[in-house]
Amino acid sequence: MLDIWVFGNPDLPEDSLPLRLLPQLQRAFPQFIFHTKDPAEEWDPVPESLIIIDTVKGLEQVKIFTELNQFESSPTVTMHDLDLLAELRFFQKLGKLKKITLFGVPDTLNPDVAFTQLEALLRQSLI
C-alpha cells in the first residue's frame, strides 16, 4: 500500500481544502493509506520517497511538484507551507528524504474541480 501524507488546517478555509477532499480521496483510492499530518509534529521515520497533498497559494489548478527548490523564490506559499517546506528541506539535508512528490492544491479552487484535477493527477502519477 502507498502512503500519502495530507496537510492542511481545518480552522482556516484557505488552508483546509486538502482535508475536505480527504473522504472523497479515500473512497476513490482505497489502495492508498492517507495520513493527516501537521508540519509541527514529529515525522520519524520519514519515507525516502514521500508523497504529499497540500495547499499551495497562487496556483490556478492542481500541480505536481517534484523538487523542493521549485518553492525557493515563491512568495505565494502560506506560513503553514513555509513550516512544511523548512521541515522537508531539513530532512532532505539529513539525507532522510530522497524523493518528493507534492500535489499542490490551489486555495481558491472549487472543491469539485479540485477533486477532479487531483484524482486525475494521482491516477496518472501513482497508478
d(CA 2, CA 118): 16
What pLDDT score does 82 carry? Answer: 53
Are 104 and 117 contacting, i.e. CB atoms less than 8 angstroms apart? no
Is the pLDDT at 123 greater than 60? The verdict is yes
**Could you give the domains of the chain?**
2-126 (3.40.50.1450)
Asked if residue 21 lies in contact with residue 113, where contact means CB atoms within 8 angstroms, the answer is: no
Rounded CA-CA distance 121/127 in Å is 10
pLDDT at 80 over 60: no
Do 74 and 121 contact (CB within 8 A), yes or no?
no
Sheet holding 32-37, edge to edge: 32-37, 2-7, 49-55, 99-105, 63-65
Q: How confident is the model at residue 76 (pLDDT cuts 50, 70, 90)?
A: very low
Instruction: Compute the average pLDDT of residues 56-82.
Output: 73
Please name the residue that has the C-alpha cell 517546506.
85
Q: Global pTM?
A: 0.88
Q: Tell me the helix, strand and coil percentages in the chain, rounded to 5.
A: 40, 25, 40
Q: Smallest Cα–Cα separation from 62: which of 119, 126, 1? A: 119
pLDDT band at 91 (very low <50, low <70, confident <90, very high): confident
* Chain segment 26-61, per-residue pLDDT in tens: 999 999 999 998 877 777 788 888 999 999 888 999
Residue 83 pLDDT: 72
